[in-house]
């Protein structure tokens, strides 16, 4: 590394900011902690002197900071910086960090500890570290199970390069959060001005023609192949590459309920829904494209099908139990692999292709008829708003708007996907890792795509888990208008369904005492947005739904977050 002249008065805070600048982070998402004064001072100096620095977002909850970094990273696909407070702040944000791991979003998460507890000369870190902020083994020990890599930066002189290394590791497949514990004493230590080299995008590995050719021959010989994918659309160009591949070979595509994002146009005739079940005993070739957990229960293996896994990292190290039943792997850049296979779509058996096209056309027609029937029934329903009508109305209102849907529903998630029918890259994301992150993830998506309308669909139970006030504060402070649509059935329905399923003739079924599920006691959920000057509506009739959503979308287009609390019938 080339030596640079020391900058008088600079410290670890300057090293931190300089490193994230070199990394190419657009943003530092910060939930404030007392260790970050050196970083704030560096940012203030850079702003005063006109020096470059990532944009800083001052956020009032850890889940909001991490969730926004997740949403931003889903679209931008580059590592950003996250600043939390000590071990408690890391613990508070840990669910969202774990969600970023599952979603495959790169980021560098940082927090701090003390190494001297006031017993060393120089700056006194404060007695709070000695009393209650520190944990045995350091916060990096806490972070290890839910990050790709976690360690401590033990010197100000290695801090910039440690941040660069964390960013590079987080960006490599499988992408995910890296954690760096930066002790307060390191941030306060004098820095000699040496900076890290800028981080460049990862290179790619490719499956060789010798590996791809046999798979192309397997597809050519298959009479009833199927593609199953969870995250092909997460890769840059993956949505388009999968579409071209499926069309070239005339292969249906299943997106299981475990799909993390939109991977294939749900309006396309080759889209085969979300259930792999009908294919388990009939397919002769299953192509798992970026699909971590295709079979459930895991022991349920396909009847006669061969299984080809197309994935840069098929065996995900953060998945505890993973069963793929692979007969062949194509490892390396998925987009490149799909493009190679698309070029090999030659000399196809016209009879086999015609048979599977006809079968898929029949399935597709049946699905379209079922969707239409369900929506017609929902329109005519009496006594409240059917959730199908909510999703269908949103689809019609978003048509042509290039919108993005972030989904944090549980019992309504299939309804949302089936009836919204998103059909473009980066138009649908499902929140990963635990409820209570949806508003923050949607805010991060809006930050990355400011010119596109962003809609959060969320259940009333999930909404109650969200840090609503800090999320609304971020939306208003940073000009990130969302449309939040609450599917409010006044119950934790997934919990109730499991109780009924496990104990169909139990005491609760006999007495009607269903514990852990009732949400009728909550106040009207739209009301929480009123102190922030946001547009709010509560809807309890079918006739009022479309006008309310139209007004809400108009408010969003004018720059105001809108919350529509829809009292659904189920």
CB 310, CB 289: distance < 8 Å: yes
Q: For residue 455, what are the β-bridge partners?
A: 405, 483
The number of beta carbons lying within 10 Å of the beta carbon of residue 322 is 14
pLDDT per residue of the chain (570 residues) written in tens, 0 to 9: 344 444 555 999 999 999 999 999 999 999 999 999 999 999 999 999 999 999 999 999 999 999 999 999 999 999 999 999 999 999 999 999 999 999 999 999 999 999 999 999 888 999 999 999 999 999 999 999 999 999 999 999 999 999 999 999 999 999 999 999 999 999 999 999 987 788 888 998 999 999 999 999 999 999 999 999 999 999 999 999 999 999 999 999 999 999 999 999 999 999 999 999 999 999 999 999 999 999 999 999 999 999 999 999 999 999 999 999 999 999 999 999 999 999 999 999 999 999 999 999 999 999 999 999 999 999 998 888 999 999 999 999 999 999 999 999 999 999 999 999 999 999 999 999 999 999 999 999 999 999 999 999 999 999 999 999 999 999 999 999 999 999 999 888 888 888 999 999 999 999 999 998 888 888 889 999 999 999 999 999 999 999 999 999 999 999 999 999 999 999
SS3 486: strand
Query: Which residues contact residue 154 at a Cβ distance below 8 angstroms, ignoring those fewer than 6 apart?
Result: 183, 186
Query: Which residues contact residue 87 at a Cβ distance below 8 angstroms, ignoring those fewer than 6 apart?
Result: 111, 113, 133, 134, 135, 139, 142
Cα 149 to its chain centre, rounded Å, is 19
Task: Note if the pTM is more than 0.85.
Answer: yes
Q: Give the pLDDT score at 9.
A: 58
Q: For residues 494, 496, 500 and 502, what is the CA-based torsion angle, rounded to 10 degrees? A: 60
Query: Which residues contact residue 144 at a Cβ distance below 8 angstroms, ignoring those fewer than 6 apart?
Result: 150, 179
The C-alpha angle 161, 14, 449, rounded to 5 degrees, equals 80
CB 566, CB 458: distance < 8 Å: no
Q: Is 289 exposed, middle or buried (0-12, 13-18, 19+ CB in 10 A)?
A: buried
| 3-state helix, strand and coil shares in percent for the chain, rounded to the nearest 5 | 45, 15, 40
CB 430, CB 261: distance < 8 Å: yes
Q: Single out the residue of 180, 186, 42, 182 nearest to residue 122, CA to CA.
A: 186
Q: Single out the residue of 40, 36, 42, 33 nearest to residue 15, CA to CA.
A: 42
CB 551, CB 537: distance < 8 Å: yes
Q: Give the pLDDT score at 382.
A: 85
Q: Give the pLDDT score at 8.
A: 52
Sign of CA dihedral 448, 449, 453, 454: negative
CB 481, CB 452: distance < 8 Å: no
Q: Give the pLDDT score at 123.
A: 86
Q: Give the pLDDT score at 520.
A: 84
Strands 535-539 and 562-567: parallel
Phi, psi of 494 (to 5 degrees): -65, -35
Cα separation, 565 vs 457, whole angstroms:
10
| SS3 sequence of 166-181 | HHHHHHCCCCCEEEEE
Location of structure tokens 């994230």: 20
CB 111, CB 140: distance < 8 Å: no
């Amino acid at each position: 590394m080339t030596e640079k002249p020391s900058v008088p008065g600079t410290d670890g805070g300057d090293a931190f900011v300089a490193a994230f600048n070199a990394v190419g982070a657009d943003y530092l998402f910060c939930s404030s902690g007392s260790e970050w004064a050196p970083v704030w001072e560096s940012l203030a100096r850079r702003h005063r002197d006109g020096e470059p620095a990532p944009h800083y977002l001052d956020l009032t909850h850890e889940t909001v900071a991490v969730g926004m970094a997740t949403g931003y990273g889903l679209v931008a696909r580059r590592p950003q910086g996250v600043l939390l407070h000590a071990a408690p702040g890391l613990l508070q944000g840990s669910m969202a960090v774990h969600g970023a791991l599952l979603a495959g979003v790169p980021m560098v998460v940082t927090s701090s500890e003390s190494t001297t507890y006031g017993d060393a000369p120089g700056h006194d870190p404060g007695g709070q570290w000695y009393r209650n902020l520190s944990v045995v083994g350091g916060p990096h020990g806490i972070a290890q199970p839910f990050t790709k890599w976690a360690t401590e930066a033990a010197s100000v002189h290695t801090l910039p390069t440690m941040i660069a290394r964390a960013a590079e590791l987080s960006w490599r497949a499988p992408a995910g959060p890296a954690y760096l514990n930066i002790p307060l004493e390191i941030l306060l230590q004098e820095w000699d001005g040496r900076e890290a080299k800028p981080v460049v995008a990862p290179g790619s590995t490719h499956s060789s023609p010798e590996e791809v050719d046999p798979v192309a021959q397997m597809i050519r010989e298959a009479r009833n192949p199927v593609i199953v994918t969870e995250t092909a659309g997460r890769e840059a160009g993956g949505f388009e590459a999968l579409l071209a591949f499926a069309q070239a070979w005339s292969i249906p595509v299943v997106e299981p309920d475990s799909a993390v994002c939109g991977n294939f146009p749900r309006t396309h005739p080759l889209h085969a829904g979300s259930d792999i079940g009908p294919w388990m005993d009939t397919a002769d070739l299953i192509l798992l494209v970026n699909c971590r957990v295709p079979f459930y229960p895991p022991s349920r293996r396909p009847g006669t099908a061969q299984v080809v896994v197309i994935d840069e990292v098929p065996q995900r190290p953060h998945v505890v139990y993973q069963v793929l039943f692979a007969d062949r792997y194509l490892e390396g850049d998925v987009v490149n692999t799909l493009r190679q296979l698309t070029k090999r779509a030659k000399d196809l058996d016209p009879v086999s292709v015609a048979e599977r096209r006809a079968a898929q056309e029949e399935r597709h027609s049946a699905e379209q008829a079922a969707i239409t029937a369900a929506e017609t029934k929902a329109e005519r329903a009496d006594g409240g708003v059917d959730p199908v009508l909510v999703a269908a109305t949103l689809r019609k209102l978003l048509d042509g708007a290039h919108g993005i849907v972030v989904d944090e529903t549980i019992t309504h998630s299939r309804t949302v996907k089936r009836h919204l029918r998103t059909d473009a890259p980066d138009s649908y994301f499902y929140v990963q890792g635990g409820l209570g992150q949806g508003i923050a993830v949607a805010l991060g998506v809006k930050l990355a795509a400011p010119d596109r309308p962003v809609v959060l669909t969320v259940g009333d139970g999930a909404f109650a888990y969200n840090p609503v006030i800090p999320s609304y504060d971020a939306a208003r402070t940073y000009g990130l208008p969302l449309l939040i649509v609450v599917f409010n059935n006044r119950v934790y329905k997934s919990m109730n369904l499991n109780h009924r399923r496990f104990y169909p003739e139990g005491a609760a079924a006999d007495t009607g005492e269903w514990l852990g599920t009732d949400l009728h006691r909550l106040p009207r959920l739209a009301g929480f947005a009123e102190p922030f000057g946001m547009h709010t509506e509560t809807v309890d009739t079918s006739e009022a739904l479309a006008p309310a959503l139209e007004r809400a979308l108009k408010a969003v287009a004018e720059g105001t977050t809108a919350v529509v609390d829809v009292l659904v019938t189920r």
